A and B are shown apart, each in its own frame.
Chain A
């Protein structure tokens, strides 16, 4: 709700609440009604993300995006005059550290909500969120099991089945490819995504002629690629992390594999195009947020002016930028319904107010199972740059 519309009502509520201050001890109030009209000094929330460690290049940029969004909101009046205050803890994308961080956020800072990412961390801290009735917003993790982690766990980022399903359908329907090979890293990210691609492609009527895994931290993919080459697929889908996808593409082309290569959002990385050179030409990847358009112009300019570069994992940072706006919308809903800023009340807000307009990724609609669907953007590498070739419904 617009701030201007709320303000007169808040003033009235404030006067009433002041007059009824002795009733603050009322058990009904204690159950969640706003105990007094006195505004908090800030709406505090936790942010548990990798700021150091192997994933820091992504995590730090995502937190940077979030901080700019908070800065924007606070400089434009905060949430009904109250600033948002994020407390950042470093998970290093490690589940055990994530547990320590979230315990600290809840017991020391008493946050009613926190934001986190990386599937293993999201899953590890979910029981804590549920036990302490604290809202956990997962932003960027895409493991489908996130939909089943409990009442307090919600994701603002589409889960893995959304973009890979759309990609497999596009390959079959639009590119008219009928045979595919799938090469994937042997971990949770790779296995699930590879299975989704295979199953959807086969359901469409296509044939998966090779389905090969490679171990983490390997440096040669030749053996697997030779099996792919022998199967002669029309399309090769790679489900890996950015660093191995880079090497797989280079080695595939060196071995003379000329198939169309596809991958998912992890490969949406300008560095990959630079380092793979001509080998990456024609590569099709998915993105779950737009990489162009008027709404992004200001955001990208912000990165260029303050960091002198584009962010690592642009789409992920867009979702982190949008996160404080989702939180703001739910806090405004609480204010409108005279509810205190607590975890259980935020849960009510998420259920009652599932449609939130966010500045970068557009309308966010939460499904009853706490997930979201978003459009899937397909990007194609053309002469060292990704160009959007399709926007598919999520």
Chain B
């Protein structure tokens, strides 16, 4: 049972990791608690659904459509939303409220277009199963773990070694100083938005392989990303990854020792404890 819980926990952690990196990256770079990502998540998965089911596109093109929508909307929100508000010297609280409104708007828009019912991107959510030493591993589990790990590693490596990633880190550490060195703050914000779009689009696709989605799913899942960001320590992308994996494993393993009705409460309990006893997160010293 332990091995199965590890496999399922890691598969579940895949999309959580991508959502958490996306949220943490934007927060780290721009300082905005960007809840509009919940709306972007819903929009991207519905773009995949529409491309597959209404347009009859092949899966590769449908995923590309989801990526395009997520990146385009993320960039548009940054360029025509946050940037305009910053120019007007709007405070961070109002930016946060603006992002909440956008998320709700995206959810309502999808409800108007697709209705309130749940949908699956493929006709069946069943995935072929492989038994490995008695542990059931589905194709969806493998795809989720492999793609999430690869993408997370690519983003972390990009932040360290690519010039654009280094610029992003520099801006996040000291915006004014970075600009003195000729690094564009605006470009860094747009880069963070685009990368977050890619991450949430892939995460939503992997998640939707095994469950139904509805217009508000993005907002529901964003809570996990926020919790992972806080647990892992705000501003620490690597810590966020660890936070996301921890949450997924905690949700799975908690039922071994506690009644299953406590599954959600356990996560919030840990979050509560981290906020009280380690307000800068588990990996604060690693920042």
Contact = CB atoms under 8 A, between A and B. Distances in A.
B109 to A, nearest CB: 13
B131 A277 contact: no
A247 B256 CA distance: 21
Contacts of B91: none
Nearest to A278: B126
Given A227-B255, A275-B125, A56 B212 contact: no
Nearest to B131: A256
A227 B11 CA distance: 18
A256 B255 contact: no
Residue among A218, A230, A250 with the most chain B CB within 10 A?
A250
Interface string A266-303: 00000000111111000000000000000000000000
Contacts of B214: 54, 243
Interface in A214-264: 214-215, 217-220, 222-224, 226-227, 230, 242-243, 246-247, 250-251, 253-256
Nearest to A227: B255
Contact of A226 (B4, B118, B138): B4
Contacts of B131: 256
Contact of B126 (A217, A250, A256): A250
Interface in B1-18: 1, 4-5, 8-9, 11-12
Nearest to B223: A217
Interface string A75-117: 0000000000000000000000000000000000000000000
A388 B118 CA distance: 26
A275 B123 contact: yes
Interface string A34-48: 000000000000000
B253 A254 contact: no
Contacts of B12: 219-220, 222
Given A222-B5, A275-B124, A213 B116 contact: no
A243 B213 CA distance: 9
Given A219-B210, A220-B252, A246 B8 contact: no
B120 interface: yes
Nearest to A246: B212
* Most chain A CB inside 10 Å of its own CB: which residue of B11, B118, B131: B118
B259 interface: yes
Given A243-B212, A255-B4, A256-B136, A223 B260 contact: yes
Given A219-B12, A275-B212, A278-B126, A56 B116 contact: yes
Give chain A's interface residue range (CB within 8 Å of chain B): 35 or more
B116 A254 contact: no
Contacts of B5: 222-223, 226
A223 B252 contact: yes
Interface string B121-143: 00111110101000010100000
Contacts of B207: 219
A246 B117 CA distance: 13
Nearest to B13: A220
Contact of A214 (B1, B9, B123, B260): B260
A199 interface: no
A205 interface: no
A195 interface: no
Nearest to B124: A277
A54 B126 contact: no
Given A214-B263, A227-B255, A254-B127, A57 B4 contact: no
Nearest to A53: B116
Contact of B118 (A56, A214, A243): A243
A312 interface: yes
B189 to A, nearest CB: 31
A254 B129 contact: yes
Given A219-B12, A223-B251, A213 B4 contact: no
Contacts of A177: none
A275 B260 CA distance: 26
Interface in A14-64: 52-57
A373 interface: no
Contacts of B115: 56-57
Contacts of B212: 243, 246-247, 275
B264 A215 contact: yes
A213 B259 contact: yes
Contact of B260 (A224, A247, A254): A224
B235 to A, nearest CB: 27
B123 to A, nearest CB: 6
Contacts of B216: 54
B47 to A, nearest CB: 20
A251 B116 contact: no
B255 A212 contact: yes
A220 B8 contact: yes
A324 B129 CA distance: 50
Interface in B255-285: 255-256, 259-261, 263-264
Contacts of A247: 125, 210-212
A316 to B, nearest CB: 15
A228 to B, nearest CB: 10
A186 B1 CA distance: 23
Contacts of B220: 217
Given A242-B118, A243-B212, 4 more contacts: A215-B264, A223-B252, A275-B123, A275-B125
23 contacts: A213-B263, A215-B263, A218-B263, A219-B207, A220-B251, A220-B252, A223-B251, A223-B252, A223-B255, A223-B263, A226-B1, A226-B5, A243-B118, A243-B212, A247-B210, A251-B210, A256-B131, A275-B120, A275-B125, A275-B212, A277-B123, A277-B126, A278-B126
**Top 9 closest A-B pairs, CB basis?**
A222-B8, A223-B255, A215-B264, A277-B124, A57-B117, A213-B261, A243-B118, A212-B260, A223-B252
